[in-house]
Every structure is written in C-alpha cells, then in structure tokens.
Structure 1
C-alpha cells in the first residue's frame, strides 16, 4: 500500500490540529454553527438525529493492521452514546424500542469508508489526533467536494486485471485532496476506477467512472464515463472518451469537474448531481469538457500531466510483497487435501466455493470475509472483531 512521506504525515496532522482549533472556536462561540458546519463536514463529521457520525476515509480500500487496531480503539473508547442520548434514541424507535443500538463498533461502507455513530463532538478532536497517528483522516468524506476514490476490492491481485488501478487511484487522491477550486461543488462528487475486465468497482454508477485499458499499440489509457449515479434518479454513466492517455487523467478530470462546477444546478439539491447536467445537456456537455480540456493543455500547459518519475514513485508502493518459501508440496496434492476437506465438511465446501477466489500468484488465494452476522447490522464490526 502507499507509504506516506514526511510531507503526507505532516499534512494529516496539521489538518487534525486545524480541526481542533475550529472545534474550540465553535465551542466558545467564536465560530457560528453555520460557519462550523461545512468545516466539520469536510472532515467527515455529520450531526444526525441522535448523535454525530464520523466517516473515516480508506482510500481505494487498502488498510493496514496498525490502522485497524486504531479503528478498534476508537470503537472501544469513544463509540458510546451518553445515557440521555441513548434513552432518546431507544424511545424514538417506538415499537422497536427494545431493539439493540450497536455501540463500540465501526461500520464498513460500500464505498470503502469506515463510520462511527456515537462519538460526541466534544471528543471529536481527540479522535482526529488518534487517526492522524496512523495516517488516517476524514478529509472530504462529506460535503460537496470530490469524495473518496474507490476501486476493485481485488485490485492488484485479480486474475482478470489488465492494469493495476491503485497507483492511479492514489495519484487522483493526492490531486483531489483540498483542491481549492472544487471545495464547494454543486453536490458531492464520486470517482471509481477499475483495471479489470469485470467491473467490480461499479464504475457506471459513479459521477466519473474510469476503465484502464490498452490500445492496439499496447499503450495504457482510460475509457472515461461521466454522469452515473444511483438514488432517486438511477443513471448509467455516459462514455465521453474511449481512450485517454494515462498521464492526462487529472487534466481531463479537472475539465470534467470544472464544467460541472460552472453549470451544475445549485437551486435544488435533488437535481444538482452531475448526472442531471449530463442528461439534460447531452453532447453539449461533452463538447464543453473537450473545449475546457484543450484550454488546460494549450493555454495552461497541462499543469496536472503526471510525470513518469512521479508515477514510478507511487507505483513502487504497490509491488507484490516478497513471500516466504512455501512448503515443497505439489499444487495437485494441496488441491486434493482441500477437496477432501470440502467433501467431509459441507459448510467449509460452501465457504471455499463462495468466499475463496483465484489470485495472480498461483500459490495464493484471495479470501472474502463477510460482515453479515446474526444479531448485527450488515457492515458492522465490534471493536473485538
């Protein structure tokens, strides 16, 4: 996974310190609720019916064991409502008043974020400091900005992968974080990227969907979709570029978002997503993006063209780890042992069939662990788990 540099680490810690200052000024009345709201939102702090909710970013789904331990610590030490809040929440459920409201747990979302539902705002700065200690944060997990970039859960190991999407996702993350022009878009903006033949990243449902492809000459580029989305107006994204050279992707996304920022609706949040603009403008939107892209290249000089050296620096973080020598057992013998176990234990056989997937390294397998357990909401995991 990507290794934070000294600059990256300092950036996250400074952001946490900035949030602590904002929180203190709000608590002392020096910052109004209206002024504080967008600041906390762009650090991942919502205020819902009964309690705040924190959304922590896990860019393109990669997380380290040390980070999981800190998430467990936050769940254990901070994710618990005050007695009065818990009582109000229970009473508010009416007939479901006896339903257990999960505490001391984290919720893993479909867009590779982690959410906590019972942390009081008074402790929010302490939590942000704890996250920053392992290079985690909630930057742009909320608000009308470019959100967490997602990709295939099997990125880097899928057998049908054409190009590893993770280095590109990381470069987009760095480019979009605190982008000064796109901090207050008409509505939230989500990007997904895949490098596999099977689109497990569901790119067609995103504001921008990116497919890594190779042309006839073997050159790497992107097939670009725009204007996908779910919700009350489900739309599959429109292809606006069949092939874009890989090093131009951020210049092109800048053109896409810039046109949306200028023409997207701001009078009705239900019609403010880019899918509405693309649907209403059609070819005109595509023409505007191409014109903006040409200006970025010809007049601005393509400021976000990715240098090969920078790509190589980031890509070096995603090489396959060196593994210890595996016992000298023939693959056929190992498979026979598995088959025997699966035949003798029906549940294990089902698990092998449904949860174990091929890996690019034929000596390894990818395993899916489910968050669906009896008595728990799908996606929840307790601090112990």
Structure 2
C-alpha cells in the first residue's frame, strides 16, 4: 500500500494543527457556526441528529493492521466503542465530542490517515473493487490508478469548490464490483487491439434524488492521458454545473441536460488545451506509484481443493461459509475471505473496538497485515492460505465475523438512517434487523440465492437503494415513517435503476412485504436464475399483484 513521504506527513500534520486552532476559535465564540461549517466539512466533520460524525478517509478501502488498531483505539477512547464502515469504503465515528476531534485527527496522522475531502463539494474518496490485486478475473490492478487519482485530486485548488460533491470509481476486472456506472466518473481498464492499456470512461452516473446510470463518452483513453482527461471533465462541470440549486448541481444533471454527445464534445474541446501538457502521465510516474502495490511474499503453494472438500463434508457450517464468504485468488493455494459485518441484531457495517483489534491480529497472522473495506460494508482478508481457512473460520466464529451470508438477502447495505442522520426521513437499521430475523433460516437463504437488498433512510441514497435488486427507501408521510419499495436495480456491469413497486408501507409490515416478493420469485424462477434475472424476465406486475392484493 502507499506509504507517505515526508511531504505527505508534513501536509497532514499541518492540517491537524490548523483545524485545532479553528476548533478552538469556534468553541471560544470567535467563529460563528456559519464560518466554522466549511472548515469542519473540509475535515470530514458533520453535525448529525445527536452528535458530530467524523468520516475518516480510507483510500480505495485499503488499511494496514496498524491503521485498524488505531481505529480501535479511537473507537474506544473517543467514541462509544465502535465504528461504522460506509458505502464509500471509509470509516465513520458517530459519537465524538467536537472538542476531541483535533486530537482524533492527530492520532490518525500518526498512522498516515486523515479525514480530508470526505465531505464538502470536492472530489471524494476514490473507490474500487475490494478484491483489487488478487481477483482471478482481473485485467490490471486498479489500486495504483486510484492512488494516482487520489494524489491528483487531494488539495487540487481548481476543484476545492465544485458545484456539488464528486465521486470516482475504478474497475480493473472483467466483473464490475466497483459500481462504476453509478458514479460521477467511472473508469474501466481496457486494452486496445494493439494490447495497449487505457480506460473506458463513463460520466454522469449517480444515485440520490435523481438517479442516473452513467454514459460512456470515451471508449479508449490511453492511460498517459488519464489526469488530463479527468481535468477536462471537471473543468467542464465546474464551468457549466448549476450552483443555484443544490438538488440540480450534480454532474449527472448537466450531462442529462446537455446530452452525453454534447457533453463529450465540450470535454474534447477542453482537453485540446490540456492533452500532452504537464499532467500527462509518464512511465516513471506510473512506476513510482505502482511500486507501492507489488505482490506480498506469496509462497509456492498447491491448491487444497481435495482437503477443503473433505472438511466441507465433515463440517457443514464450514462448507456454507466457504461457499459464500471465500472467493478464488489469482495465486494457487490462496483465497480471499470476506468477514461478514451483517449478523442479525447488529447494524450493518458496524464493528466494535474489540472486533477491530481482532481484525488487525487476524490480518497479521493470515493476510500479510492488510485488510480491505468493501462498499457492501464488509471487511476482506485478501491473501489467506487455503490450508489455513479452517483455522481462520474457527477464529472468525469466535469474533462474530463468520455469518455465511455474503451476497445473500441478509447481507444488507444500510445507511445509518434516522437513528443518527439529521437528513433521514425514517430509520433504516430496525428495518434491516426485522428482515434479517424473518429470513434467519440459512437453508432457505441459500435456496433463495443471490439478492442485493439495499436500504436508505432518505433520498440522498447513502444505502444505494436505487441499485438494489430490492431497494427500500424511508419516506415521511404526515410525520410517520413509511417505506417505498423498488425492484430490479443493479450496480454491476448490467447497471440498472429499480422501478418503484407502488404505494409505501408501514414499518411493521416490511418483513411481510419482502417475504411476499421472495415467494413470487421462488414460484416463478427457472433453474439457476437469480432474483434479478427472474425480475427482468417476468417484470414488475406479478410482484405488485401479490403484495398489494394481500393488503387490500
């Protein structure tokens, strides 16, 4: 992973010192709330329903065990003993005291971490595949390119005050696990006929109040021109993006208003002034960054398929866990393991300080001292020896990480909702728990198969409900919390936005509604169909008829 040089460290420490003085002045009454607001947002600090929330940057979801232990220490000393993994692969603390935030940032700086550009109208954390660098279907490792974008975008003076927040995702594999088509900019690694590396560029994707699937405006951008082309996109957005209405200020609105072809033409015209300029990437620069992402010290190991199959037969729980939480690795004898943060009764994505310490220890002993956060709000150990999977499974069970539900109905993406967020119209966490309790039969879960169920407490869509196979949105109806259901969304390569089922539902009937939807799927599916496949084949009407007929 990338290691700070002395200049990086000096910049971060200077920012901590600066914000410490800004906080002191605010608490002393020398700065008004309105004056302090942009300063705290520049340092990842929000004011939520009951307390401040600090969002810590985790570039492309990659953490060292040392950094994870620091997260545990902060959760223990400055919060209520836990942290939350966000859908942008960051870490959030929901209960810090305002006066403690400078101390938290100082602690973070000791392990090369910060909270810069995790909020505000700037380029946010660049995200990617949680299996980056180890996936069997990978064309290139996207992490060096994410790091190049991070270094370019952090403190970029031209893009510190964009019309609205801005999100970039990079995919380097055959499968799209980075959801690039629902980002402001999505980058997909491709090779041309000559075998040269470049990027297919999507713009104008996003969720929130106006969900849009992005449009590809460049089918092959040579890697050398990555930053100049991104510069051109951002300049066009900065120039033409609306600033009079924050609900119409995202780049997706601009691309939709102009049309992708016109927007692309404006980018090309702007790029003409930038192409081959000082920001053009060189082999030396790519090598400088790339050297931080070399393979760890893999052993020459045999595949353990026969031994693992025997363990599967002897231990059905291990077999279930391996089927859902373990994926193939590019190196023989290794596997990537997802630690589920979705046991029933726990807010999806939450992890305690003791669990964080345990994760750090597990990373050191099983995965070269590294962990990853996923945008599905789970944790990954990317480099586990297959021969150690059974031992790891036992230790994960002891620490609450072995729920075999990755990709299944109870592996719910869920925003903090009305329990924390001041923007939320309704609570999200109790809905997630109620659904998990209704579907607590593992045999049935496995029979149902892969389903993405996403929950958001408001139209800001932090829970990505628009792209859930089943999406749930909290709405306010005359002061009461109700929930709108959508079907057919997907964040994968076949990206699609869900269609609203119909009128919203009261909280207490939501598990019944989900069960009826699942029953339709089970009745109508063909062999090997997932929920999304059945929905696309039969449409929304059979689901609508079942749910609303039963409620009339």
Judge same fold: TM > 0.5, yes or no.
Answer: yes
Q: What is the alpha-carbon distance in structure 2 between the residues aligned to residue 306 and residue 23 of structure 1?
A: 39
Partner of 1:11: 11
Partner of 1:314: 289
What stretches of structure 1 of length at least 5 have no aligned partner? 80-102
CA deviation vs aligned residue, 1:133-169 (integer Å, no higher than 9, x gap): 0010000000000000000001011111111111110
State which of 304, 317, 327 in structure 1 corresponds to 2:279. Answer: 304
Q: What is the alpha-carbon distance in structure 2 between the residues aligned to residue 381 and residue 373 of structure 1?
A: 11
3-state DSSP of counterpart to 2:281: coil
Partner of 2:264: 286
3-state DSSP of counterpart to 2:112: coil
CA deviation vs aligned residue, 1:56-113 (integer Å, no higher than 9, x gap): 010001100000000000000100xxxxxxxxxxxxxxxxxxxxxxx31000012110
Q: How does 1:91-130 map to 2 (within 5 A)?
A: 103-130=80-107
TM-score by length of 2: 0.63
State which of 337, 341, 348 in structure 2 corresponds to 1:378. Answer: 348
Q: What is the alpha-carbon distance in structure 1 between the residues aligned to residue 223 and residue 109 of structure 2?
A: 31
Partner of 1:234: 211
TM-score by length of 1: 0.90
Partner of 2:186: 209
Partner of 1:362: 332
Q: What is the alpha-carbon distance in structure 1 between the residues aligned to residue 35 and residue 267 of structure 2?
A: 33
Q: What is the alpha-carbon distance in structure 1 between the residues aligned to residue 282 and residue 21 of structure 2?
A: 36
3-state DSSP of counterpart to 1:145: coil
Q: What is the alpha-carbon distance in structure 2 between the residues aligned to residue 110 and residue 70 of structure 1?
A: 21
State which of 230, 235, 241 in structure 2 corresponds to 1:253. Answer: 230
* Equivalenced residues, count: 354
Q: What is the alpha-carbon distance in structure 2 between the residues aligned to residue 360 and residue 18 of structure 1?
A: 44
Displacement of 1:303: 2.1
Q: What is the alpha-carbon distance in structure 2 between the residues aligned to residue 363 and residue 14 of structure 1?
A: 45
State which of 312, 335, 342 in structure 1 corresponds to 2:305. Answer: 335
Q: What is the alpha-carbon distance in structure 2 between the residues aligned to residue 350 and residue 323 of structure 1?
A: 27
CA deviation vs aligned residue, 1:254-298 (integer Å, no higher than 9, x gap): 11011111111111111111001001101221111110001123x
Q: What is the alpha-carbon distance in structure 2 between the residues aligned to residue 324 and residue 343 of structure 1?
A: 27
Displacement of 1:325: 6.0
Q: What is the alpha-carbon distance in structure 2 between the residues aligned to residue 146 and residue 250 of structure 1?
A: 13
Displacement of 1:323: 3.2
Partner of 1:28: 28
CA deviation vs aligned residue, 1:207-265 (integer Å, no higher than 9, x gap): 00000111111111010000001122211110110001101111111110111111111
Deviates more, 1:315-324 or 1:148-157: 315-324
Structure 1 residue 148 corresponds to structure 2 residue 145: no
Partner of 2:529: none
Q: How does 1:160-171 map to 2 (within 5 A)?
A: 160-171=137-148
Structure 1 residue 43 corresponds to structure 2 residue 43: yes
Q: What is the alpha-carbon distance in structure 2 between the residues aligned to residue 324 and residue 345 of structure 1?
A: 27
What stretches of structure 2 of length at least 5 have no aligned partner? 356-552
State which of 263, 272, 280 in structure 1 corresponds to 2:249. Answer: 272
3-state DSSP of counterpart to 1:305: coil
3-state DSSP of counterpart to 1:270: helix
Moved beyond 3 Å, runs of 4+: 323-326
Displacement of 1:324: 4.9
RMSD (Å), alpha carbons: 1.2
